[in-house]
Amino acid sequence: MRLIRLCVLKRLTYELAEREETAIYYSLTYRSWSEDKQAETGVLEQTSVTRDELFMRKLVDATLMKNKLWAHLSNECQDRREHAIYVTAYDQQMPEGHGAAIADAALGMCKMSSMYSPEYMLWNGRSFEELELMESAGYTMELAEQLLDHYMVRAGRTYEILYSVLDTDRKKVLFFVKEVDL
């Protein structure tokens, strides 16, 4: 009996050890880039993030930091440790057709979150308005996975993902979508 208890105790210890994860943080720097000068023009922000958050941050099309919108140009990694996202002012790299409306909607939002969560903005032909979807995405990796998709289907409706913005202050990922008939 004692041997069985010892085996069970060892197995539980082994299972608990497997479940514990050590959070590894990566250095991430947002660097502004000038197309005119073809050079880096400064460091906007330097932070430490988990691997999942790093993945999510590199996948969005733009980032809203300190109430200013920055369009992503490229990402890089040095020695698998030092990560950088090169950005430019959003108005210099606006997507055609919806660019001004995306900026207006992104800068006009105010809901906060304690952890990263999605917000959906639906194109109504003139502007974007909030689209209420029942979402359970509460993990950063789930948001990163969703950023890989071009379309999403919810309640039988298909939406094309036009653009995505990470709002670092509010901890939101904004998905700008339009309904499509496929």
60 shares its domain with 84: yes
**DSSP class of 90:** G
112 shares its domain with 49: no
130 shares its domain with 80: no
- The total of structural domains in the chain comes to 2
Last residue of a domain, one of 50, 68, 90: 90
Burial of 109 (0-12, 13-18, 19+ CB in 10 A): middle
118 shares its domain with 159: yes
107 shares its domain with 174: yes
104 shares its domain with 85: no
For residue 103, what are the contacts with CB-CB under 8 A and spacing of at least 6? Answer: 69, 90, 91, 94
Report pLDDT for 42: 95
Report pLDDT for 17: 47
Report pLDDT for 98: 93
Give 130 or 80, the one with higher predicted confidence.
130
86 shares its domain with 52: yes
Report pLDDT for 51: 93
Q: Which of 6-15, 26-35, 103-112, 136-145 has the highest mean pLDDT?
A: 26-35
Residue 2 lies in a domain: no
Least confident piece of the model among 2-11, 23-32, 44-53, 139-148: 2-11
Q: Find where tokens 């959906």 sit.
A: 120
Residue 5 lies in a domain: no
106 shares its domain with 70: no
47 shares its domain with 72: yes
Burial of 158 (0-12, 13-18, 19+ CB in 10 A): middle
Range of the domain at 67: 25-90
